[in-house]
Amino acid sequence: MTANSTSAGDDRTLRLEIGSDRVGRVVFDRPDSPVNLLSAAVLHRIDSLIAELESRIANGQLVALTLESAKQGSFIAGADVGEIGEVRSLEQARAASTEGQRIFRRLERLRVPTISCIDGTCLGGGTEISLHCDYRVASDNSATRIGLPEVRLGIIPGFGGCVKLPKVVGVQRALDIILSGKPVSAARAGQIGLVDRVIPHHAWERGTREFVSDVLADRVPKATPRLSFQGKLLELNPIGRKVLFSLARKRALSETNGRYPAPLKAIDVLEQTYGVRPDEAYPIESDALAELLVGDVAQALIRVFALSQDAKRALPASAMAAARDIRRVAVVGAGVMGGAIAELVAANDIGTVLKDIDQGALDAGLRHAADLLRKATRARVFSEEEAGLKLARIDGRLDYEGFEEVDLAIEAVVERMMVKQQVFRDLEGVLDPEAVLATNTSSLSVTTMASGLDRPERVVGLHFFNPVHKMPLVEVIRGELTGDAALATAFRFALGLGKTPVVVADRPGFLVNRLLGPYLNEAGHLLDEGVSVEAIDEALLEFGMPMGPCRLLDEIGFEVALHAGREMGAAFGARLSPPDVLDRMIEDGRLGRKNGRGFYLYENGKSTGIDLTLDSLFPPAAGGPSGDEIRSRCLWLMVNEAAWALEEAVVDTADQVDLAMIMGTGFPPFRGGLLRWADSEGLGQIVDGLARYEDTLGTRFAPAPLLKGLAGRDGTFSNPT
């Protein structure tokens, strides 16, 4: 397939090369970008290229066509989400979908075999264009992931993915892929028939050439879905299919609590288009996509996606230039957080030293890391062999041997200033003078921790959230002494781990824990008033929080929560002072989930329900606040605290607050974020409500000046005017 002619494709985004063997290669190569995207302009290019291909085929100049990418580790990353976010009307949405479908179907009708050669990430539109090829091959590169993640943006595949995927892999697997939004590996794609051949990465060029020859020699049978016996029983008769769709609906409803319409819509589309002629099926998909896309949930989710993309560029290129390369990391303290951080670092193939002062703690930390890697293997993130290699990257130690090789040390020792300062002083003695010192503290001052060191400018906060492998947020804390190089290094390191970094100022509680403070405190005040744990947690679950505040306190642990609460009470006074609920719980021998006794009871780590004996600690009272009132009290205080934090420049923008709360606490993404939600409620209403509560319940409700100012001039957080 050596190229001897290049044509219409001089546009660098997409080029056509035709070899002497008359095999054409369409190569995607978006300029100045690590990935290919299917923007409207690229689709338009594909369309005109197809016109040229049709005429070449008619003239006998082409016998087969491959789709390829010139990007390392990336085939096509999907549609351009920026463009999707700009669609405002049903008509626009439907037209965009119909246009994509038309072009892909035109590709499908080419009268030569078409082969999509997938080496790297292949998502959304990338998968849809591949599904319209006659064949697909994938490299076993670990970067190869094939999926349709649209439901995560609140939409469904709209370029024919819903129509084509069930034909290729069967209904059940198509539902799995579309409803989960999770991409599959090349090996899995091979097993389920999503690709026709998996080719070893090291022999990719040769392997794809051989595949094309095999196709031309009629040696590759046309794929049909590879169904198990049970799969056939269910899928190949109408009653079985009804069962499949109805089970999928039940599951989707319970997983989304009815909050996210896209999975249910996807099920409808798959059901309505099954066995239907393409001319009828494709419009069903377009209509459904359009309806979702203009809805509030999709708009909120697309915004959150855009915010997370913007977050990656929060530091300008000039600042990022100061970032150090990280080849070796030390994690000091092998507890709950240290073990998990070491696992995350090693999972990203970075050499890691995990150090503790106690052999038992070190062993437990290493076991924790091994467990997490095992879980990742079960979830098919890595193979067992890969997990073994990653675990071997963690070097457990009780001493500082080898620390001179370390580029970044992260301390995750007990939350005590003196201990942390001593650890930093010890590290200064053994690390390279350029190495960065990071602290995972959740409540102590990064500035105080750094002061007294010879080189305080290399100290920065890297605040991971628990559980580390699940929570996407990392607060990168700029202490008053933190230098640009340390900040940029920490930021780039967090990004490299696949996390969403948000730069925050060194104020007590930083951002997320500070905003959680009044929210959790209010749950305590409500308990004191005789409101039940159930009523409080239900009210917030109903709002969409991943767990209620009482459950969250159980998870955090009462000692940790009390410590953090006191720090914030000391810093911010009555507004953030914790009620004495936690003291009473601790006095009663309850520590939260970790000792099996909190607001809920736990056996073998599993919750067995609310502890009914709590009534003696918090006698129930009749006629308490309604669910709406409970929600308002907890959430308005959070909004109010966000206004205080913005005023103190803890972060620069309301968007950063929204992103951090979603990524760090699971604030419901379909609400668009805390402050976007507040805007939609009306800031005037929130300020009035806070003022009413201030009169009846106390000064903790006093509206923040910034919030009052915005409400007073009819502004919003997103548009302060």
Ligand X SMILES: NC(=O)c1ccc[n+]([C@@H]2O[C@H](COP(=O)([O-])OP(=O)(O)OC[C@H]3O[C@@H](n4cnc5c(N)ncnc54)[C@H](O)[C@@H]3O)[C@@H](O)[C@H]2O)c1
- The answer to whether residue 132 is catalytic is no
The SS3 assignment for 549 reads: helix
| Token reading at 203 | 């022999």
Q: Which is nearer to ligand X, 181 or 338 (CB)?
A: 338
Candidate list 355, 478, 492, 499; residue touching ligand X; CB under 6 A = 355
Residue with tokens 């999707």: 84
Using CB under 6 A as the binding rule, whether residue 361 contacts ligand X is answered as yes
Contact 262, 156 (CB under 8 A): yes
Q: Which is nearer to ligand X, 153 or 423 (CB)?
A: 423
Q: Which stretch binds ligand X (CB under 6 A): 94-102, 147-155, 464-472, 517-525?
A: 464-472
| Token reading at 250 | 């039940």
What single DSSP character describes residue 4? E
Using CB under 6 A as the binding rule, whether residue 501 contacts ligand X is answered as no
Tallying the residues shown for the chain, one arrives at 721
- Residues numbered 23-62 forming contacts with ligand X, rule: CB under 6 A: none
Q: Which is nearer to ligand X, 358 or 401 (CB)?
A: 358
Candidate list 107, 423, 634, 642; residue touching ligand X; CB under 6 A = 423
- Residues numbered 313-342 forming contacts with ligand X, rule: CB under 6 A: 332-338
Q: Which is nearer to ligand X, 400 or 701 (CB)?
A: 400
* Least distance between ligand X and beta carbon 294 (Å): 39
The residue type found at 182 is K
Q: Which is nearer to ligand X, 154 or 557 (CB)?
A: 557
Q: Which residues are within 8 A (CB) of 419 and not within 5 positions of it... i.e. 6 or more apart?
A: 413
Dihedral sign computed on CA atoms, order 272, 274, 280, 281: positive
Q: Which residues are within 8 A (CB) of 545 and not within 5 positions of it... i.e. 6 or more apart?
A: 665, 666, 667, 668
Q: Which is nearer to ligand X, 249 or 469 (CB)?
A: 469
Distance of alpha carbon 241 from alpha carbon 245, whole angstroms: 6
* Least distance between ligand X and beta carbon 485 (Å): 23
Q: Which stretch binds ligand X (CB under 6 A): 15-23, 386-394, 437-445, 596-604?
A: 437-445
The residue type found at 257 is N
Pairing of strands 184-185, 351-355: unpaired
User: Phi and psi at residue 383, in whole multiples of 5°?
Assistant: -80, 165
Q: Which stretch binds ligand X (CB under 6 A): 131-139, 290-298, 356-364, 689-697?
A: 356-364
Candidate list 352, 441, 445, 656; residue touching ligand X; CB under 6 A = 441
Q: Which is nearer to ligand X, 412 or 502 (CB)?
A: 412
Candidate list 280, 358, 480, 615; residue touching ligand X; CB under 6 A = 358
In 420-579, beta strands by DSSP E: 436-439, 459-464, 473-478, 500-505
Dihedral (Cα; 291, 545, 180, 555), 10-degree rounding: 180
Q: Which stretch binds ligand X (CB under 6 A): 89-97, 165-173, 459-467, 691-699?
A: 459-467
Distance of alpha carbon 168 from alpha carbon 149, whole angstroms: 18
* Least distance between ligand X and beta carbon 480 (Å): 19
Rg for the chain (alpha carbons), in Å? 28
DSSP assignment of 271-332 equals: HHHTT--HHHHHHHHHHHHHHHHTSHHHHHHHHHHHHHHHHHTSS-HHHHTTPPP-SEEEEE
Q: Which is nearer to ligand X, 563 or 584 (CB)?
A: 563
Q: Which is nearer to ligand X, 108 or 415 (CB)?
A: 415
Q: Which residue number has the CB closest to ligand X?
A: 335
Using CB under 6 A as the binding rule, whether residue 356 contacts ligand X is answered as yes
- Residues numbered 647-706 forming contacts with ligand X, rule: CB under 6 A: none
Distance of alpha carbon 173 from alpha carbon 428, whole angstroms: 54
Give me the sheet containing 74-76, strands edge to edge.
74-76, 121-123, 145-147, 184-185
> What distances in angstroms separate CA 444 from CA 210, 337, 416, 650, one per listed residue?
61, 16, 8, 15
* Least distance between ligand X and beta carbon 468 (Å): 8
* Least distance between ligand X and beta carbon 110 (Å): 55
* Least distance between ligand X and beta carbon 606 (Å): 19
Q: Which stretch binds ligand X (CB under 6 A): 162-170, 182-190, 240-248, 435-443?
A: 435-443
Q: Which stretch binds ligand X (CB under 6 A): 83-91, 116-124, 250-258, 458-466?
A: 458-466
The mark string for 193-232 relative to ligand X (x by CB under 6 A, - otherwise) is ----------------------------------------
Candidate list 357, 370, 471, 586; residue touching ligand X; CB under 6 A = 357
Distance of alpha carbon 674 from alpha carbon 95, whole angstroms: 33
Q: Which is nearer to ligand X, 130 or 442 (CB)?
A: 442
* Least distance between ligand X and beta carbon 652 (Å): 23
* Least distance between ligand X and beta carbon 91 (Å): 48
Catalytic residue among 202, 463, 469, 525: 463
User: For residue 54, with 0-12 CB atoms within 10 Å meaning exposed, 13-18 middle and 19 or more buried, which class applies?
Assistant: middle
- Residues numbered 400-419 forming contacts with ligand X, rule: CB under 6 A: 412-415, 419
> What distances in angstroms separate CA 75 from CA 14, 124, 381, 515, one per listed residue?
12, 11, 19, 40
Interacting residues toward ligand X by CB under 6 A: 332-338, 355-358, 361, 412-415, 419, 423, 440-442, 464-466
Residues annotated as catalytic are: 463
